[in-house]
Amino acid sequence: MLDKLKGIEDRYAEIERRLSDPAVIANNREYAQLARERSQLNDVIGCVREYLRISEEIENNRALMESDPELRDLARAEIPALEERQGELDAQLRDLMAPRDPNDERNVILEIRAGTGGEEASLFAGDLFRMYNRYAEHHGFKLETLSMSSTGLGGIKEVIASISGRGAWSRLKFEGGVHRVQRVPATEAAGRIHTSAVTIAVLPEADEVEININEEKDLRIDVMRASGPGGQSVNTTDSAVRITHLPTGMVIVCRDEKSQHKNKSRALKILRARLLEKAHEEQDAKIAQSRRSMVGTGDRSERIRTYNFPQSRVTDHRINLTLHQLDQVLDGGLDALIDALASHEREIALGAA
């Protein structure tokens, strides 16, 4: 345990040193990765340092009990309190060091769509969007609407927004799924309770995709004599270049330039562009799959949470938690629900660790 904690402290010190290195500062991608890792360690490093300090005090007191008769009783008297604090820190560290979602520090793309229930579903989609606006305000997050499709009666068919701020994903990732509402619509003359559904997708904002090509391992480069129509324009040198990207099988041939170097440069530029396009397609497919897993079909039965207006009740079906605080929740007071979901996730992570 002590070796592991010292390793964390050493890693934190190394990150601090590298973040002040001009070469790292000039490399935006590396700097961002290190800054994110430092941010994740910030929560644990204070606890690590106190644990190491307490452990050292305990060892010093035990040494005094053996070597200094005058201080033996004082040293012995301090040990129980120190060991109690060490136990508290040990439990805290095990929680902090549980496996973490690598996306926890990312920003969020929030998508809200009216599901079954007609205009009532659109009106509730608007209620939920206002709820997340208020939640973002409470936590100092920035919410920016990217696109919105409204109805004529004040409802929302679809809205897509970005929510940015430290820990946005760690808090909002639990909101993806089907949200069900039970209430009497304003247009219902008979006072009957209607059930409608709204689908929500919460996605981590993707980093910019970068294409790194290892020419030695990833590429096979063949040079050949370019063909021409004859006469003075015939290319008599091996200037044409064919590049095969071994991991994907992509083949690029460039023969327009008389310079082999220029043809290779152009071929690599084309290859990078095609690999970038492929990476975006794969990323989009992964995001689409994530969205489908959260949204389902939008049917009322696939709910993660129910908002019951007659009973002022909110129930999260994943953890069987019911709160009779509907007004507070719709005003952005989601912390009681999200804290319980986060605690449940940590218990699962600790059990799997």
List the chain domain ranges.
Answer: 2-96, 108-208+294-352, 215-285
More confident residue, 204 or 128: 128
Say yes or no to pLDDT of 68 above 70: yes
Task: Please state which CATH class domain 215-285 belongs to.
Answer: alpha beta
Percent of the residues in the chain that have a pLDDT greater than 90, as a whole number: 27
Q: What is the pLDDT of residue 105?
A: 74
Strands 177-183 and 303-308: parallel
Contact 127, 330 (CB under 8 A): yes
For residue 233, the model assigns a pLDDT of 46
Angle at alpha carbon of residue 26, lines to 21 and 31, rounded to 5°? 70
The phi, psi pair for 200, rounded to 5°, reads -130, 130
Name the CA radius of gyration of the chain, rounded. 30
CA 337/CA 136 separation, integer angstroms: 15
HSE value, Cβ hemisphere, 13 Å, CA-based, for 134: 15
Q: Which residue has the tokens 């949470």?
A: 305
Q: Which stretch of 170-179, 190-199, 331-340 has the lowest confidence by average pLDDT?
A: 190-199
pLDDT of 141 reads 95
User: Could you tell me the CA-to-CA distances from 148 to 7, 47, 104, 129 in Å, in that order?
Assistant: 48, 44, 26, 11
Structure tokens at 221: 């480069």
Nearest to 272 by CA among 182, 210, 341, 337: 210
Among 305, 323, 322, which Cα is nearest to 127's? 305
Confidence grade of residue 293 (pLDDT, cut at 50, 70, 90): low
Reading across the β-sheet that carries 240-245, which strands appear in turn? 219-224, 240-245, 250-254
What CATH number labels 108-208+294-352?
A: 3.30.70.1660
pLDDT at 172 over 70: yes
Distance CA 134, CA 49 (A): 37
Higher pLDDT: 91 or 21? It is: 21
The neighbouring-strand residues paired with 195 are 182
Beta bridge partners of 147: 160
Residue 242: CA atoms inside 13 Å, Cβ hemisphere, count?
9
The answer to whether 331 and 350 have CB atoms below 8 angstroms apart is no
- pLDDT band for 134, please (50, 70, 90 cuts): very high
Cβ neighbors of 187 (< 8 A, separation 6 or more) are: 119
In angstroms, the CA 276 to CA 213 distance is 11
User: Is-same-fold flag (108-208+294-352; 215-285)?
Assistant: no
- Looking at residue 291, its pLDDT comes to 62
Give CA–CA dist 182/295, Å, rounded: 19
Cα 150 to Cα 254: distance, rounded to the nearest angstrom? 50
How does the average pLDDT of the chain come out, rounded? 82
pTM of this prediction?
0.60
